[in-house]
Amino acid sequence: MPRALIIDGKSIAHRLRLEVAAGVAHLQRARGVVPGLAVVLVGEDPASQVYVRTKMKATRDAGMISLEHKLPAGTPEASLLTLLAELNGRADVHGILVQLPLPSHIDTRRVIEAVDPAKDVDGFHPINIGRLASGACTLAPCTPAGCVILAKSVRSDLTGLEAVVIGRSNIVGKPVAQLLLNENCTVTVAHSRTRDLPSIVRRADLVVAAVGRAEMVRGDWIKPGATVIDVGIQRVPAADGRSRLVGDVAFDEAVDVAGALTPVPGGVGPMTVACLLKNTLRAAWASSQV
């Protein structure tokens, strides 16, 4: 049985990061501007600390300036908003990222809305979400943008494809659906209340799974030859007593049915950081033109 093409997110992300680094050098030569990304971390969540370190290193590796603001878990919301106002006003800061989740005493929505939309490199501000929904060129959320790049690495024109997105979060599912609509796919968004999910997924030429349930999508849900982008990341116990990372798709089954498939890890994950750098460069170019 032919096995699916394994979409190498690591190397696609690496190429994108090299392109961004070249773009950073070009911007510096052309306008004398070095892109700056400010990352704000509130609290000591271990996973968030790892994500922030990874993002900051990637920023520096691309030739950008990386500024870290680490605040204690008990930081009042007002202090965080004051910091964001200051970063919004700084000419050397082109991108602002507030690492989520925030401690429960802080209103995440208010914080997202406090970031200048022109510096919102996560693409979560309602203005950027509205622009995305209206088909305008904008700072798109990073993981969804990465999913689309991976899908287009298999087939550069997605026009007319039947796409099924499983998951409707504001961070992944909904923006992926918008981006795929902008690519002229016919998009279905499935969620926890969807009836007969397997038969809906079986229609899809392109599946994006963003659920957070280990190996939920089985091989026999997949249309032969479909492209499958697996956003999920879950740690599950392994046979040797240790643990392993898996996605939302049962990889060993899907690989014998799909035409192309992303692995976990090494698929969508690396694209998120690469797209963050791309957004930061884009924001810096835009600010240098005004």
Q: Judged by CB, which is closer to ligand NDP: 58, or 268?
A: 268
Residue 162 CB neighbours (<10 A) = 16
What's the closest the beta carbon of residue 94 comes to ligand NDP, in angstroms? 22
Q: Judged by CB, which is closer to ligand NDP: 65, or 233?
A: 233
Q: Which residues bind ligand NDP (CB under 6 A)?
A: 143, 166-169, 171-173, 190-194, 197, 210-213, 231-234, 268-269, 272
Q: Which residues are known catalytic residues? A: 55, 99, 122
Measured distance CA(282)–CA(24) in Å, rounded: 10
Measured distance CA(151)–CA(260) in Å, rounded: 9
Q: Judged by CB, which is closer to ligand NDP: 82, or 192?
A: 192
Per the structure block, which two tokens stand in for 216? 């939920």
Residues 158 and 187 sit within 8 Å (Cβ to Cβ): no
What's the closest the beta carbon of residue 194 comes to ligand NDP, in angstroms? 6
By the 10 Å C-beta count (0-12 exposed, 13-18 middle, 19+ buried), 24 is classed as buried
Alpha-carbon torsion (253, 221, 157, 272), positive or negative: negative
Distances (CA, A) of 102 to 74, 88, 198, 233: 11, 19, 35, 20
Measured distance CA(58)–CA(62) in Å, rounded: 6
What's the closest the beta carbon of residue 90 comes to ligand NDP, in angstroms? 27
Q: Judged by CB, which is closer to ligand NDP: 64, or 264?
A: 264
Q: Judged by CB, which is closer to ligand NDP: 63, or 269?
A: 269
What's the closest the beta carbon of residue 174 comes to ligand NDP, in angstroms? 9
Measured distance CA(187)–CA(207) in Å, rounded: 10
Which residue has tokens 């030859």?
225
What's the closest the beta carbon of residue 122 comes to ligand NDP, in angstroms? 11
